[in-house]
Amino acid sequence: MGKLIKGFIILLGVVILVIAVVFFVWDTSKVITWSRSGFVLCSVRQSPEGRIAFFGVDPEDFVGPQIPSRGDTLFTLQDSVASLQRWIDVLESPHIAGREVAITYLHEGDTLSTMMRTRPVQKAHFLGVTVLQGLKLLISLSFLLVGFWAFFKRADSAGVRILILYCLSMVAPAILSYMPMFPVMASFQIPFVDGIRTFLISLWFFFSSFWLLLNMVFPRPVRLMRSRPWLAYALCFGPQLIVIAIAVVAFNFAWLRFVAYGIIVVQIVTGLAILRHNHITARNTLERRQTKLVFWGSGASLVIIMLYVLDWLQIVPVTINLQLLPRLLIYNAVFFLVLASPISFAYAFRRYRLMDVEIHLRRGTRYLLVTLFLLATFFAVLYGVSQLLLNTLHMESRTPTVAVALLLALVFIPIHRRAQSVIEHRFYPERTRLRKMLEEFLATTSSMPDRATLWARLEENLKQGLGIASVIPVLSEDDHHVFQLPDGEAAPLDPEGSLVHELEAVSRPVVVDELTASGRVKLSDKEEQWLRASRVALLLPMIVQSRLIGLLAITFEEEHEDMAAEDIAVLSSVVSQVALQSENLRLLEDNLDKRRLQEQLEMARRVQKGFLPARLPATPGLEVAARNRFCLEVAGDYYDVIPLENGETVLAVADVSGKGAGAALLMANLQACVRTAVGMGTRLADIVSRINDLICSNTPIEEYITFFVGVHNPESHEFTYVNAGHNPPVLVRRSGAVESLDKGGLILGMLPRLDYDQETVTLAPGELLLMYTDGVSEAMNSLDEEFGAERVKRLLLEHRALPARDLVARLEAEVVAFAGSDLLEDDFTLLAARIEKK
């Protein structure tokens, strides 16, 4: 049974789609032919006895003073007996504009004669009909797409099946709606067109039945549908079936029109009442929002359709005596409002962007009503002025009328804006106060000292204006790799997750329950738990220069029902300015922090420079020179020259892993250890071992130190050293031989309780010793080539005759020239010692 119903619905939908396309092409061909032909705006109706009477009369169709009235009987057309077909052949078939046709008619018992003249189709008429044709197609496709989209998503849902049947029934009036020309204008004729029209009218007759039934199951079945479904179906479809049965038997539609219209009105109003009841008894805010959207989107359009049906069935001929252009404007406005129905159903059933649609529906409806009212007022003023000039002042010139029309056109937009503002202040005073409050808040943001004040003031204003619980700012920190809460903790939002991508993509407020119900965003468990625990109802993305810098999470109290769509629109207009001010305050805070850090680093630099020898002390038997560069404000390179009381001199060089403040602190610790230990007369290898144990116990394993220390005895010319993983110093003998001082052990800080070896070499007068850090040997040029230890040795041999001070200056210049920049990428230290000649 289920497959049979699905098959029937698909077949019916395909048939309606084919009919809609064929009728659109057919009507389009009529419009094209009509635009090139002459036409009259008068209309006639044929009585059951075959007589022809004027139904609509336009004075501009007549030449001369004799003008018939509505209801006058037409006798002859161009010396032939008047009939509906004769009227079509003479006046409504394709022909050149300006055709004059003599007629006779009966008016209050008198037989009168006059002349009718066809007129050309004006551009405004053609444009109005074209817009109407486009709206008809748009409505037909919108209902078909919404119906089939919902059907193929959830074909097993009873509510969705009813929805597609309702959508198909709403396509029928769009196909059959008003066109100001007869089928004779078409370039081709549709076979069985009368039968197709009867089928469409019958289908359309049931649209109120589907509407009523739809509200009995949306958003959940009402009690009658759950307990007695057969009675619910009988109430929905029984009245229409009875009317159709009577019509088939009696073959008289005159009085049935009123009965049919009464049934439609009762079912529409009942459906609206049920929808309103479903809204009041909704289980959650999402259902309440769904029913509200359908009520305002489809309910309002159905009320418009009821008024349209009055005119279409000629029960109350509202537009029949109007000029063509006003009539087209009315029909276009009606069809434009009808478009709200498929849009509201699409978003209520599946898309769930209910707040967005409600905002646009409310604004669009209000805008359209104000526009129509002003247009009607301006047309009335223009018509009154023209009648005054013609009848009272007997002025036939159109110049004054054109001037008044231009004046009205100039003041239309200012008056329209003023009317919108008056409506806003008159009917929505709370929203006006909210907007004014937020404007005053934004005016004070420039004087706020920091972001904490900004969020506190914003929360205070929104609590007063909207009754929210709190505002939680979630800011993107660390170059958008993490989101942070105000307390400094990381927010449970995945920067690469679908929620953040959705906020970046839509750039507008996101209602949380709509987001989760739609299924278009997959939340992580942490995100879902955080949103639920914090009772977050609304997310406001903060976008600055097309970049998401964070979001505002709006939370409600548990008893709070919901936020109005227009209030969200106000927040949407404010959040971009709040985001910009937040970013400005962040930059200001960063500058203050940077300045504070710069001052602290400058102080640390001065302190660290104080650790290094500002002036080299007296070194008996040695000529010593040193050069030191920091790549940052503070450094991890270390050198020291320590004279001992016994005349010996300690030379030390070290390189702490890393750069910056951490390395500088470790370097200061090392210096203190060395200066304390070397004067105690302990064996040098034991001193290094003890320093290694201190470094291991006080620093993490990933921090280490390469270290070289040596003691020169000027009496014995011996140099005793320990190399703890440092770049081997270079010793240049008088003969030109080059030796590397590499005896010792592992770098400091890797393993505790290590034993180090010490080595003693004898130095002759004039021999040269160079100690350096890897900032020298590993300096890189633009080709990613290292300066290298071999180049250090070669330069040392070439310039070994230079004084120690000139030698280190020359080596520094060579390294800078090789790197191609005075700004080196690593700390740089040179320490040279030459044995003095006696």
* Residue 825 pLDDT grade (very low, low, confident, very high; cuts 50, 70, 90): confident
Can you tell me the distance from the alpha carbon of 397 to that of 386, in angstroms, rounded to the nearest whole number? 10
Identify the domain boundary among 120, 155, 179.
Answer: 120
Amino acid present at 10: I
Could you tell me if residue 792 is inside a domain? yes
Could you tell me if residue 522 is inside a domain? yes
pLDDT tens-digit readout, 439-469:
777 777 767 777 788 888 888 887 777 777 8
Q: Are residues 578 and 638 located together in one domain of the fold? A: no
Element (H, E) at 116: strand 110-117
Q: Is the pLDDT at 824 greater than 80, yes or no?
A: no
Q: Is the pLDDT at 626 greater than 90, yes or no?
A: yes
More confident position, 78 or 698: 78
Predicted local distance difference test score (pLDDT) of residue 607:
56
Identify the domain boundary among 75, 99, 120.
Answer: 120
Average pLDDT of the residues in 238-247: 87
Residue 73 dihedral angles phi and psi, to the nearest 5°: -85, 135
More confident position, 142 or 389: 142
Average pLDDT of the residues in 178-193: 87
Q: Are residues 623 and 501 located together in one domain of the fold? A: no
Predicted local distance difference test score (pLDDT) of residue 608:
57
Q: Is the pLDDT at 357 greater than 50, yes or no?
A: no
Q: Which two tokens stand for residue 687?
A: 């001193």
Identify the domain boundary among 98, 120, 142.
Answer: 120
Neighbours of 773 (CB within 10 A): 28
Q: Which two tokens stand for residue 136?
A: 């008809």
Predicted local distance difference test score (pLDDT) of residue 351:
46
Q: Are residues 634 and 538 located together in one domain of the fold? A: no
Instruction: Please say whether the beta carbons of 767 and 737 come within 8 A.
Output: no
Q: Are residues 584 and 635 located together in one domain of the fold? A: no
How many domains are there within the chain? 3
Can you tell me the distance from the alpha carbon of 502 to that of 446, in angstroms, rounded to the nearest whole number? 30
The CATH number of residue 482's host domain is 3.30.450.40
Cβ-based neighbours of 621, under 8 Å, separated by 6 or more: 649, 712, 714, 717, 835, 836
Q: Are residues 473 and 581 located together in one domain of the fold? A: yes
Average pLDDT, the chain: 80
Predicted local distance difference test score (pLDDT) of residue 497:
82
Could you tell me if residue 545 is inside a domain? yes
Beta strand pairing status for 718-724 and 744-745? parallel
* Residue 352 pLDDT grade (very low, low, confident, very high; cuts 50, 70, 90): very low
Predicted local distance difference test score (pLDDT) of residue 574:
77
Q: What Å distances lie between residue 344 and 143, 265, 339, CA to CA?
A: 11, 21, 9
SS3 378: helix
DSSP string, 490-507: BPS--TTSHHHHHHHHH-
The DSSP 8-state label assigned to residue 349 in this structure reads: I
Q: Are residues 679 and 749 located together in one domain of the fold? A: yes
Average pLDDT of the residues in 75-98: 89
The DSSP 8-state label assigned to residue 50 in this structure reads: S
Q: Are residues 638 and 553 located together in one domain of the fold? A: no
Amino acid present at 375: L
pLDDT tens-digit readout, 563-577:
666 667 777 777 777
More confident position, 26 or 671: 26
Average pLDDT of the residues in 419-436: 66
Candidate from 167-181, 622-636, 769-783 with smallest mean pLDDT: 622-636
Predicted local distance difference test score (pLDDT) of residue 355:
44
Q: Are residues 567 and 459 located together in one domain of the fold? A: yes
Instruction: Please say whether the beta carbons of 607 and 616 come within 8 A.
Output: no
pLDDT tens-digit readout, 106-151:
998 899 999 999 989 888 778 888 888 888 888 888 888 877 877 7
| Closest by CA position to 550, among listed 653, 663, 473, 664 | 473
Q: Are residues 734 and 823 located together in one domain of the fold? A: yes
Sign of CA dihedral 154, 156, 159, 163: positive
Q: Which two tokens stand for residue 522?
A: 């997959």
Can you tell me the distance from the alpha carbon of 202 to that of 195, in angstroms, rounded to the nearest whole number? 11
Could you tell me if residue 181 is inside a domain? no
Predicted local distance difference test score (pLDDT) of residue 28:
92
Predicted local distance difference test score (pLDDT) of residue 47:
78
**Structural domain containing residue 647:** 612-835
The CATH number of residue 727's host domain is 3.60.40.10
| Closest by CA position to 773, among listed 627, 622, 625 | 627
Percent of the chain with pLDDT over 90: 22
The CATH number of residue 50's host domain is 2.30.42.10
Q: Are residues 557 and 680 located together in one domain of the fold? A: no
Could you tell me if residue 315 is inside a domain? no
Q: Are residues 830 and 788 located together in one domain of the fold? A: yes
* Residue 746 pLDDT grade (very low, low, confident, very high; cuts 50, 70, 90): very high
Q: Are residues 550 and 640 located together in one domain of the fold? A: no
Average pLDDT of the residues in 762-790: 90
